[in-house]
Amino acid sequence: MVSKQAFGKTQDGTAVDIFTLTNSNGLEVRAITYGGIIVSLRTPDRNGKLEDIVLGFDKLDGYLGKHPYFGAIIGRYGNRIGNAKFALDGVEYKLAANNGPNALHGGLKGFDKAVWKAQSFENDKGVGVVFTHTSPDGEEGYPGNLSAKVTYTLTNQNELIFDYEATTDKPSPINLTQHTYFNLAGAGKGDVLGHEVMLNADSFTPVDKNLIPTGEIRKVAGTPLDFTKPTAIGARINQDDEQLKLAGGYDHNFVINRKGEGLALAARVYEPTSGRVLEVSTTQPGVQFYTGNFLDGTLTGKGGRAIQKRSGFCLETQHFPDSPNKPEFPSTILRPGETFRSETVLKFSVQEP
């Protein structure tokens, strides 16, 4: 089932709608046209009790204010571009430096702050909503008129599927992702340090003091970034390790182990108290594992509760950060006549203790 309601207006009076997607098992996803933001995601625990497992706000006002990209579609370029500039075909492009010296998540007004056009659908696969948005040539410093389409599908197999597409009329970098913060115990139910994480990644891209990849692809073996076997987030997060200190915890791009193209498992997360399990598969080469290190209790979230440090984690499927300045990384350049496509699948289940 899919329904649509009004959810308020932006400061300039643009109407924002909310779509509620419900599958045959009672899973419920609510997403708004502002930023394509997932404002709630209700899944059952091992006793069948439904609970909202994503961080965010009760009303639109919270999302219109300053917040760390809760639930949003990120573009044109997810993650960081070093020194807020890149060169393409001999031309240098300057971007807004909105993260120290870096450009982060598309700039001052990225896709997370756009009001997307939206159309709901129901088909044999499930129910969903198609979000579309066009970013004009030069917006946030990026070249080309870029048309993006992001489809959210909730299946009766308890999967939430993100399908991304984009075209451009000038060569431009693109790195679309989704920035939902999860707490599988339930939003507002403490920190995520007890969640057990497995990342299907033998390597990661280490960062410098500005959290820009150095260009090295380093093995995780023997480091606190080794999640090849299920490990509690909190088990090593405070170890005396240069990479953890630079990021204040985990905020790193992991190189997904893959055999050929198509979907590959990126991560599996298990929360022992609720039994909830989240599996993430993607066609992308990387996943940014972020443990909410910059959350600090100053934002008031759902139910009037302060959003505390490490009370949520993100698994942002992506191409690697700073790829436009790192020719050794997989290319993120989209050219006229090409179509960018990627897919990420979130599968929800439960596990007995």
Predicted confidence (pLDDT) per residue in 220-259, tens digit: 999 999 999 999 999 999 999 999 999 999 999 999 999 8
Pair of tokens at residue 275: 């039994």
Q: Above 90 in pLDDT, residue 50?
A: yes
Q: What is the dihedral of CA 333, 138, 175, 262, to 10 degrees?
A: -60
* Single-letter amino acid, residue 172: S
Cβ atoms of residues 213 and 247 within 8 Å: no
Tokens 């979130």: give the residue: 346
Q: Does the pLDDT at position 263 exceed 90? A: yes
The reported pLDDT for the residue numbered 260 is: 86
Catalytic annotation, pick one of 179, 195, 252, 319: 179
Q: What is the CA radius of gyration of the chain?
A: 19
Q: Which of 140, 195, 316, 319 is catalytic?
A: 316
CB count, 10 Å around CB of 291?
Answer: 28
User: Are 317 and 344 in contact, with CB atoms under 8 Å apart?
Assistant: yes
Catalytic site residue 316? yes
- pLDDT, position 64: 98
pLDDT (tens digit, 9 = 90+) per residue, 130-160?
999 999 999 999 999 999 999 999 999 999 9
The span from the CA of 19 to the CA of 11, in Å, is 21
pTM here is: 0.97
Q: Which pLDDT belongs to residue 176?
A: 98
Q: Is pLDDT of 353 > 90?
A: no
Mean pLDDT taken over the chain? 97
Beta bridge partners of 120: 129
CA distance readout (Å), 306 to 53, 134, 269, 300: 15, 35, 24, 4
Q: What is the pLDDT of residue 181?
A: 98
**252 is annotated as an active-site residue:** no
Question: How many angstroms separate the CA atoms of 314 and 321, rounded?
Answer: 15
- pLDDT for 160-213, tens place per residue? 999 999 999 999 999 999 999 999 999 999 999 999 999 999 999 999 999 999
Q: Reply yes or no on whether the pLDDT at 261 is more than 90.
A: no
Q: Which candidate, 2, 10, 118, places its Cα nearest to that of 60?
A: 10
